[in-house]
Chain A
Amino acid sequence: MSYIQNQFERNIVTTSVDYVFNWARQSSLWPLTFGLACCAIEMIAASTSRFDIARFGAEVFRPSPRQSDLMIVAGTVTLKMAPVLKRIWDQMPEPKWCISMGACSSVGGPFNTYGVLQGVDKIVPVDVYVTGCPPRPENLFYALLKLQEKIDTTPNLVKRPTEVRLEESMLDQFKQQIRIAQIQNPV
């Protein structure tokens, strides 16, 4: 850098591709409007003037996955909703990020039941997990800052690996469990 610096006019700045791209991406995250349960209420509260998610450049909640680059999974993911969530995630253009907001979407929360997915990271890759039930807006902002830190350190000329941990055996095991339970007499 130092060799070509000061070789041009004063209004030319030299920088790196990574720095500019990451700066642009982290400073204007567009979240997807995607609320599933009570965490969504906190997410909505985060966008109001009292908490003001616009301070972090992430206030543009988009109703279309094609226009957004951040999915905040706010709430309980049921098995019936899981394919929909996966499809919405697939419709989002790269680069995209995912925040798992709250206990339910992170690990299933209190709902260790037949109908609830035990952690959204089984179907989509999660960048930041937020604790809380539901998390306060400040907690979501902390996750947002953490995500911005993560984006800041991402190398751009290398493609970001999209790692999906989908356990194919999960549903089979559960079906087997049902079959066993129907044969035996639990009383």
Chain B
Amino acid sequence: MDIPAQIQPLVKGHMEALGELTVEVAAEDLVAACQVLKAQHKFVRLSTVTAVDRFPAEPRFEVVYHLYSIEHNQRLRLKCHVGGEAPEVDSVTGVWQGANWYEREVFDLFGIRFRNHPNLTRIMMPEDWQGHPLRKDYPVNGFK
């Protein structure tokens, strides 16, 4: 699969491995790229939103979106880097409603905030929990 022409100007980097295309965009261009991909390339399904913590590196987090086009039977992996003390990225709930809980999960476990999210609260950990457990600088062990 080739990189769709309409998002070509937004692409910062790309990689193809095992027939799967990974496209990286800047965090500011994320929603624009998603809108184009959904409207013009029929990526109507957002399979998942997740994140990767590359702790000592900066920018620290990669937010990963897996898209699927039912019409063309194609998959696309979309990435953007965020970092800093309070990592923030635009929410894609305006494009896919289903992103709501995925983004809550990423916020809960990685502490990445999503701008314009309708209800950015914890979804897995207890409401009064402190910290974000899947960060690399979070203690691995529990308490005895």
**Interface set of A (CB-CB < 8 Å, partner B):** 79-80, 108, 111-116, 118, 170, 173-175, 177-178, 181-182, 185-187
**7 closest cross-chain pairs (CB), A and B:** A174-B143, A178-B131, A181-B139, A112-B142, A113-B142, A114-B133, A80-B126
Query: When the two chains form their complex, are residues B126 and A79 in contact, meaning their CB atoms are under 8 A apart?
Result: yes
Query: When the two chains form their complex, are residues A112 and B139 in contact, meaning their CB atoms are under 8 A apart?
Result: no
Query: When the two chains form their complex, are residues B126 and A178 in contact, meaning their CB atoms are under 8 A apart?
Result: no
B126 to chain A, nearest CB (A): 5
Query: When the two chains form their complex, are residues B125 and A118 in contact, meaning their CB atoms are under 8 A apart?
Result: no
Give complex CA distance A185, B58 in Å.
14
Residues of chain B contacted by A112 (CB below 8 angstroms): 141-142, 144
A1 to chain B, nearest CB (A): 52
Query: When the two chains form their complex, are residues A182 and B143 in contact, meaning their CB atoms are under 8 A apart?
Result: no
B137 within 8 A of A: yes
Name A's interface SS: loop
B9 within 8 A of A: no
B49 to chain A, nearest CB (A): 21
B84 within 8 A of A: no
Query: When the two chains form their complex, are residues B131 and A182 in contact, meaning their CB atoms are under 8 A apart?
Result: yes
Give me 11 other A-B pairs in contact (C-beta within 8 A), A79-B126, A113-B141 excluded: A112-B141, A114-B138, A115-B133, A116-B142, A170-B143, A173-B143, A174-B143, A175-B130, A182-B137, A182-B138, A187-B55
What are 15 contact pairs spanning A and B, CB under 8 A?
A79-B126, A108-B142, A108-B144, A112-B144, A113-B142, A115-B125, A173-B143, A174-B142, A177-B139, A178-B131, A181-B138, A182-B137, A185-B137, A186-B136, A187-B56
A82 to chain B, nearest CB (A): 9
Give complex CA distance A115, B133 in Å.
9
Give complex CA distance A79, B127 in Å.
11
Give complex CA distance A185, B55 in Å.
10
Residues of chain B contacted by A186 (CB below 8 angstroms): 136-137
Give complex CA distance A71, B136 in Å.
38
Query: When the two chains form their complex, are residues A118 and B143 in contact, meaning their CB atoms are under 8 A apart?
Result: yes
A118 to chain B, nearest CB (A): 6
Give complex CA distance A173, B56 in Å.
26
B11 to chain A, nearest CB (A): 31
Give complex CA distance A115, B108 in Å.
13
Which of B55, B125, B141, B142 lies at the interface centre, i.e. has the most chain A CB atoms within 10 A of its CB? B142
Give complex CA distance A182, B139 in Å.
9
Residues of chain B contacted by A111 (CB below 8 angstroms): 142
Residues of chain A contacted by B125 (CB below 8 angstroms): 80, 115
Residues of chain A contacted by B140 (CB below 8 angstroms): 113
Query: When the two chains form their complex, are residues B130 and A178 in contact, meaning their CB atoms are under 8 A apart?
Result: yes
A36 to chain B, nearest CB (A): 16
Residues of chain B contacted by A113 (CB below 8 angstroms): 140-142
Residues of chain A contacted by B133 (CB below 8 angstroms): 114-115
Chain B, Cβ-Cβ closest to A170: B143
Chain A, Cβ-Cβ closest to B126: A80
Query: When the two chains form their complex, are residues B142 and A118 in contact, meaning their CB atoms are under 8 A apart?
Result: yes
Contact with A along B38-65 (1 / 0, CB 8 A): 0000000000000000011000000000
Residues of chain A contacted by B126 (CB below 8 angstroms): 79-80
